[in-house]
Structure 1
Amino acid sequence: MIIAICGSIKFFEAMVETQKKLEELGHQVLMPTKALEESQYWSDDNKARVEAKKKFEFIGEHFDKIEKSDAILVLNVTKKEIVNYIGANTFLEMGFAYYRKKKIFTLNQLPDQGYIMDELLTFEPIVLNGHLEDIK
């Protein structure tokens, strides 16, 4: 199966580890582009971050990968005290995958983020509870 990994770029190293495990299980993995330090992606300045995202086309590039995939795997892990966090970009990617009728897997249970819970449930993700071998 071709799987696009989605999640916060803050966890890029975990994405690389997950990529290796998925490949060992026989899957082809499409990864998001790591935001380069020099790209201003990590800037404290909101305007600089937005410009970096537009210049490097991070969102559109990853949508192309989702389009080529059979499924997405959301690496929803704890971030800023939110257990199994799903951020804005990841939510957007899940919505796109849902629209394109891709399977949606989440590594962990859905987060307690009430403002998006109805939509997350509408996407009908398959919760893996950490068991990558359950991807089929």
Structure 2
Amino acid sequence: MAILSWGKCKIETTPSTDGAPGEPQSWTELDTPKKDTTKLTPTSGEEILAQEEGGEVVDARYGKTTYQLEFDLFVKKGKERPFEDIDGLIAGEHAFRITPEDDTCEGIQIDRSVVRCEENYTTADGKMLHYVAKCLKPKTGNTVKPYTKE
């Protein structure tokens, strides 16, 4: 048993409707991503400072953090792509949840995002699909929520 949310993860997706995931039984597990490519990247919100002459800060306020989920999938013979795209554009909104290798550890759930795909190729890895999900404001709660398998 692990105490950290690391290791080989499971990524699941479902369409997002009205800012929330679809029916509980509609989650679809994606193929295992390439090693060390699954990441959630936060971007700090805008910092606004009220400064006096001389540069001292009188007050500060911050915008909310935004998030982006990324992962790479190998293109495998006989395996369907998880999303249909037209030149990298994927229609609709999508929810994701990521379960760590030890599913009793805390993972993440994203209720609403828009997704794009960047197709690339190298002789070292073959054909790869790089997915980028820009996380959007959900119907309720935080943009990124804790998720633990029930």
Fold equivalence (TM over 0.5): no
TM-score of the aligned structures, taking structure 1 as reference length: 0.23
Q: Work out which of the two has the higher radius of gyration on C-alpha atoms and give 1 or 2.
A: 2
Select the structure that is richer in strand.
2
Select the structure that is richer in helix.
1
